[in-house]
Chain A
């Protein structure tokens, strides 16, 4: 159940990031365009699903070393670009030569945002744990005194 909740939370997070990036791209490069709302949200859902499925590149039997993690992160970015760019083109999110560079840049930005959001959550968790460790140690020392 917890695993399902975790993946649903991740899905919503990816969905939000992709929607934001796609919306910004449309706003910057084609502000006059009318977005068919239902189709737009549906497509973003597919994008988010692909983005989540592509996380399979991180799967490993053993714990990943820091180096292996970086290698897979680059690989993940390549998989994302290879899967999302043609699909986005098919759905008319980008057309020309400059567009593809910008769209690829947005995918990179979305990935960076994902890792930053993840990291900031972990900073908070680490702070909570450290505070508890400190308190436990303090009360242990007080008892000894």
Chain B
């Protein structure tokens, strides 16, 4: 495979463009993870501000107009609104999973359907979150699931 590295000026935004046959291929995920892993958001707790890498966030949720980032063992308040956070994690493994939540696909253990037409995602820490059917297509695309 050919690898092209182009040096750009400081005034330009850095980006990674992957041209591939299968967007669901493992190496594509690893490139995206490496690129998005460099991105960080600020989260606040009682002990002050913390810089959180996107890769360590389980999900981002808005409750009563307040935003929260959930990691494996802690909850941080964030300043971003849902759409701002969604824009920030474009191209990463985080995706919009419901009207008020953005979920990290890499932290999903498994999903199961519920009678209400939605899906329940069980995360790596055992927590369960709802994935609306509207956004399941995004998860499938992200994972590289192709329609039969």
Contacts and interface: CB of A to CB of B under 8 A. Distances in A.
Interface in A113-142: 115, 118-119, 122-123, 125-126, 128-130, 132-133, 136, 139-140
B98 A63 contact: yes
Contacts of B143: 129, 132-133, 136
A63 B113 contact: no
Interface in B19-56: 24, 26, 29
A132 B144 CA distance: 8
Interface residues of A, number: 24
Nearest to A139: B26
Nearest to B113: A122
B108 A122 contact: no
A125 B113 contact: yes
Contacts, number: 59
B100 A63 contact: yes
Given A62-B99, A122-B113, A132 B145 contact: yes
B105 to A, nearest CB: 8
Contacts of B119: 122, 125-126
A2 to B, nearest CB: 8
Interface in B89-148: 98-100, 108-117, 119, 130, 132-133, 136-137, 139-140, 143-145, 148
Given A125-B136, A133-B108, A140-B26, A64 B144 contact: no
Interface string A60-74: 011110100110000
Given A63-B100, A132-B145, A133-B143, 10 more contacts: A61-B99, A62-B99, A62-B100, A69-B116, A115-B117, A122-B117, A125-B119, A126-B112, A129-B143, A143-B26
Interface of A: 2, 61-64, 66, 69-70, 115, 118-119, 122-123, 125-126, 128-130, 132-133, 136, 139-140, 143
